[in-house]
């Protein structure tokens, strides 16, 4: 599955975990499973919130595509 650019929403600089999951078509359980295995996107903490920058989301998609094509 190829996602064109979910980070293209006007003015969006970062995703919450819920936004990231929704925009990338994965469940929260899958997100946390990927994170536990070291395969999740790079995260940042802002106060108590966990956010994923648009750039980190794009880099994660590239990594996932590379891993998929190498398999």
Between 3 and 11, the higher pLDDT residue: 11
Per-residue pLDDT at 4:
46
The domains found in the chain, sorted by start residue, are: 14-70 (1.10.1660)
Asked whether residue 6 carries a pLDDT value surpassing 70, the answer given is no
Distance CA 4, CA 71 (A): 22
Dihedral sign (CA 6, 1, 57, 69): negative
pTM of the model: 0.81
Give the other-Cβ count within 10 Å of 3's Cβ: 13
Task: Report which DSSP code applies to 3.
Answer: -
Q: pLDDT (tens digit, 9 = 90+) per residue, 10-63?
A: 788 999 999 999 999 999 999 999 999 999 999 999 999 999 999 999 999 999
Per-residue pLDDT at 12:
85
């Amino acid at each position: 599955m190829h996602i064109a650019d979910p980070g293209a929403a006007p003015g969006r600089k970062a995703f919450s975990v819920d936004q990231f999951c929704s925009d990338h078509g994965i469940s929260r359980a899958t997100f946390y499973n990927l994170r536990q295995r070291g395969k999740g996107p790079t995260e940042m903490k802002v106060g108590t919130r966990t956010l994923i920058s648009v750039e980190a989301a794009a880099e994660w998609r590239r990594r996932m595509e590379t891993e998929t094509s190498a398999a």
